[in-house]
């Protein structure tokens, strides 16, 4: 399994108490960034066990998704937690649910400039980028930015460099029964 991605991440500060309400037990607010929220508009390219899949079924080798990340801590160690994800392909939806991502079907759109199109700007300072996510015909959220400068990997917000914690929950099929897995 191999992945490559293009991300448009917009980071902002929110009310730490409001952010904490989205953390399930046993997660606690982040030690370093309890108010930080990151909206990640992404395009993912994936390849599974069939190297020829891009020519057999190209629609199975990419998908678009938007993720809401918040900081958390588990046993004192900071990480990030996915509050919600909207994705446009069913294979990513199912894989994500199995892995513990809270995924729903939705459409993600983000600015894409092609380097061979002379009418489009080269990605760099002064260039604008935007993205939005929609579901059931309604725009749910949007964000945009103008690039000020190129940064190094170490300047990316710390939360995006941390590991992630996923929550897998499979409820019982019987009323009031124990969860199948947690």
Q: Out of 32-36, 123-127, 176-180, pick the least confident.
A: 176-180
Phi, psi torsion values for 99, nearest 5 degrees = -80, -10
176 in a structural domain: no
pLDDT (mean) for 54-59: 89
Q: Out of 28-37, 48-57, 76-85, 172-181, pick the least confident.
A: 172-181
Structure tokens at 73: 């801590």
170 in a structural domain: no
Confidence of residue 50 (pLDDT cuts 50, 70, 90): confident
Structural domain including 19 reads: 2-165
Report how far residue 36's alpha carbon sits from residue 174's, in angstroms, rounded to the nearest whole number.
Answer: 38
Q: At 15, which CATH number?
A: 2.40.400.10
171 in a structural domain: no
Structure tokens at 141: 């959220």
Asked if 38 and 14 count as a contact pair (C-beta separation under 8 A), the reply is no
Asked if 157 and 34 count as a contact pair (C-beta separation under 8 A), the reply is no
pLDDT (mean) for 86-115: 95
144 in a structural domain: yes
pLDDT (mean) for 82-104: 95
When divided into structural domains, the chain yields a total of 1
Asked if 109 and 132 count as a contact pair (C-beta separation under 8 A), the reply is yes
For 44, 93, 134, 171, the CA distances from 63, given in Å and listed in that order, are 5, 10, 15, 28
For residue 138, the model assigns a pLDDT of 97
61 in a structural domain: yes
Total-model pTM: 0.88
Asked if 103 and 87 count as a contact pair (C-beta separation under 8 A), the reply is yes
35 in a structural domain: yes
**What pLDDT digit, counting tens, does each position of 139-163 carry?**
999 999 999 999 999 999 899 999 9
**CA distance between the termini of the chain:** 25
For 16, 38, 77, 130, 162, the CA distances from 34, given in Å and listed in that order, are 5, 12, 13, 25, 14
For residue 172, the model assigns a pLDDT of 79
**What pLDDT digit, counting tens, does each position of 27-49 carry?**
999 999 999 999 999 999 988 78
For residue 81, the model assigns a pLDDT of 97
For residue 181, the model assigns a pLDDT of 59
Instruction: Give the chain's mean pLDDT.
Output: 93
Report how far residue 134's alpha carbon sits from residue 182's, in angstroms, rounded to the nearest whole number.
Answer: 30
For residue 174, the model assigns a pLDDT of 84
41 in a structural domain: yes
172 in a structural domain: no
């Amino acid at each position: 399994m191999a992945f490559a991605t293009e991300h448009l991440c917009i980071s902002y500060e929110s009310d730490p108490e409001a952010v904490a309400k989205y953390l399930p037990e046993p997660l606690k607010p982040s030690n370093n960034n309890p108010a930080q929220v990151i909206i990640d508009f992404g395009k993912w390219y994936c390849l599974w066990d069939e190297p020829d899949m891009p020519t057999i079924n190209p629609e199975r080798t990419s998908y678009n998704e938007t993720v809401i990340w918040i900081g958390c801590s588990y046993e004192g160690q900071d990480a990030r937690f996915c509050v919600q994800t909207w994705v446009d392909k069913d294979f990513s939806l199912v894989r994500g649910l199995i892995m513990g991502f809270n995924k729903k079907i939705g459409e993600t759109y983000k600015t894409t400039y092609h380097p061979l199109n002379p009418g489009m700007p080269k990605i760099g300072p002064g260039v604008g980028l935007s993205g939005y996510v929609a579901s059931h015909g309604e725009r749910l959220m949007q964000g945009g930015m103008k690039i000020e400068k190129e940064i190094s990997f170490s300047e990316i917000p710390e939360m995006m460099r941390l590991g992630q914690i996923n929550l897998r929950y499979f409820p019982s099929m019987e009323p009031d029964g124990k969860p199948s897995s947690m």
